[in-house]
Structure 1
Amino acid sequence: MEGYVINTYILNVFTGEGVAGNPAAVVKLSTWLPENELQTLSRHLKQPVTSFIVDNEQGYEIRWFAGEIEINLCGHGSLAAAAAVFEMTPNHKPTIQLVSPYGTIVVNKSANGYTMTMPSWQPEHNSQLKKYSTLLGVEAIDIFSTRDLVVVLDSEQQVRNFKPDFDVIKSIRDYHAVILTAQKGTSGYVLRYFVPNIGIDEDIATGSAQCSLVSYWSNRLSVNELVVNQLSAQGGYFHVRQNQSDSIELTVNVLLTQIIKLTETHEI
């Protein structure tokens, strides 16, 4: 097919406190392309996630692609998309709605950074989940499910030292991701996030993971505001708040370590 020109922004998000954050590509389209073309563009850009956005009456429709698959919610891809919109349109109002089949994400810009409102998923406990602790080779002090399988360990060091067997994690197909987490101090937690079934063995910094974790840790620690460290090799850093029973707020004071605008011709 004949090539066409698109503008692509590549951004790093969830940076701060000495961590590198997570890169994402953002592509703004005038109308939706077929899914196979979006997937081809995502592979070409070679980022952990590519966010595609299209104007609509409420704000922007958004879709996220990673590896060989479309994914159903991506926090760092959403923040990258909002930041790219503000870069493209400096006079844009400070609130952006990103509408997806999986819910609407609202991003607000202020002088100090960005705040993103996302859904809060309530933990579900089931005695049958204990088998996953054995399968993963860890001693869990708690285990629950949301969209994700969440395994709670006793210490930050246990989360940091965990050596994943990705064949085992790939065999866990009832959940989008496997999350290991532990308490950090009196008002925080750590996590690692594994999604090999969508082509990302271990994610760098994961906004959507907080949808599974904030309610749990807020209740357990009896605090509404928490500091979060993701213990990937590059690292991720978040401030989160349990806003209401059905939503959380994720705030980043330092959003970007780089913003690279690329104008490329793509052959599909």
Structure 2
Amino acid sequence: MIKQFIADAFTDKVFHGNPAAICLPERWPDEKLMQDIASENRLSETAFVVKENNGWKLRWFTPGGEIDLCGHATLATAFVLINFVEPDLSEIEFSILSGKLSVKKKNELYEMDFPPYELKRVEVTEAMENAIGFKPLEAWIGRDLVCILEREDQVINAQPDLEKVKALDGLLLHITSKGKEKYDCVSRTFAPKLAVDEDPVCGSGHCHLVPLWSKKVGKKEISAYQASSRGGVLYCELSGSRVKLAGQAALYSRGELCIEI
């Protein structure tokens, strides 16, 4: 049996934010089984976390494959471990494929420390406009493609052609604009290459967006809103060469998978 929790990240109430499954096997399943579980869950990410050498090793799988970095599932995993597995902890350092990743509990927020993605400005193309439905003002590429739109309502109302999105460069597509009132920036994220139409709230996407918007608005602390149908709020900071992302989480379910490993 494998213990599994589902938590909604970057929100303080269920049915909002971004849901992630968190699996706590006693030892590592093989990769095919982890991928099968992620595909069966049909959430944008399923996290697998195993206790190793007095620490925790963390991996993330989308329905379409393993991914190198995931913010919301990291937040959800830390929330589950701190509240339901190791309640004496207030900080967790995860071992991930690319190194280390820490999460600190600060009152009701869980603050994560990430490396930013290096961005390169690229030409705005007709293919981008056709895929998104609006012509971007700017386009940038890191792991993902970031397209800056003129207005917040364009981000909110966009209905991208996901088949055309698959043909664009970058693993994911983020569309974003300056916030109109309450938030410094708004965004939405699409990941059809990973069998995820729209990621409700994307932490790793903000490792692209925060450095970009910090420079544009001239401040280190950025309040960000992901304008998916579920919605989510991220409290962000560009701190030296790192990006800090903080948010809340809410538990949706806990149970066991009827699978032997």
Fold shared, TM-score > 0.5 on shorter chain: yes
* Match for residue 130 of structure 1 among 125, 131, 134: 125
Deviates most, 11-20 or 184-193: 11-20
**Corresponding residue number in structure 2 for 1:262:** 255
Report whether the alignment pairs 1:33 with 2:29.
Answer: yes
Conserved in 2, the CA contact under 8 Å of 1:27 and 1:50?
Answer: yes
Could you tell me which of 76, 81, 84 is aligned with 1:80?
A: 76
RMSD over aligned CA atoms reads 2.1
Show the counterpart of 1:57: 53
Work out whether residues 122 and 216 of structure 1, in 8 Å CA contact, stay in contact via their aligned partners in 2. Answer: no
2:176 corresponds in structure 1 to 181
* d(CA) in 2 for partners of 1:264, 1:110: 31
CA deviation string 1:92-127 (max 9, x = no partner): 331111222234221001223211111112321133
* Distance of 2:13 and 2:218 partners within structure 1: 25
1:165 aligns with 2:158: no
For residue 225 of structure 1, what is the amino acid of its counterpart? E
> Residue 91 of structure 2 aligns with which residue?
95
How far off its partner does 1:142 sit?
1.1
Deviations 1:127-186 (A, max 9, x none): 3x53543443422111111111110011101111211101101122x4110110000148
TM-score (norm 1): 0.89
Per-residue deviation, residues 11-64 of structure 1 (Å, max 9, x unmatched)? 111115998111111111222221101112223334331100112237311111
Residue of structure 1 in register with 2:217 after alignment: 221
Task: Report the CA distance shift for 1:17/1:263 in structure 2 as closer, same or farther (over 3 A).
Answer: closer
Taking the aligned partners of 2:121 and 2:253, their CA distance within structure 1 comes to 43
Q: How many residues align?
A: 259
d(CA) in 2 for partners of 1:167 and 1:188? 30
| Aligned residues of 2:200 and 2:228 also touching (Cα < 8 A) | yes
Distance 1:19 1:91, change over 3 A: closer
Assess if the C-alpha contact under 8 Å between 1:60 and 1:99 holds in 2: yes
Q: Relative to structure 2, which stretch is displaced further, 189-198 or 70-79?
A: 70-79
Identity over aligned pairs, percent: 28
SS state at 1:208 partner: helix
Give the gaps of 5 or more residues in structure 2: none
Q: 2:199 aligns with which of 172, 181, 203?
A: 203
Aligned pair in 2 of structure 1 residues 17, 151: CA closer, same or farther (>3 Å)? Answer: farther
- With normalisation by structure 2, the TM-score equals 0.91
Q: Aligned letter for 1:255?
A: A
CA distance in 2 between partners of 1:112 and 1:88 (Å): 15
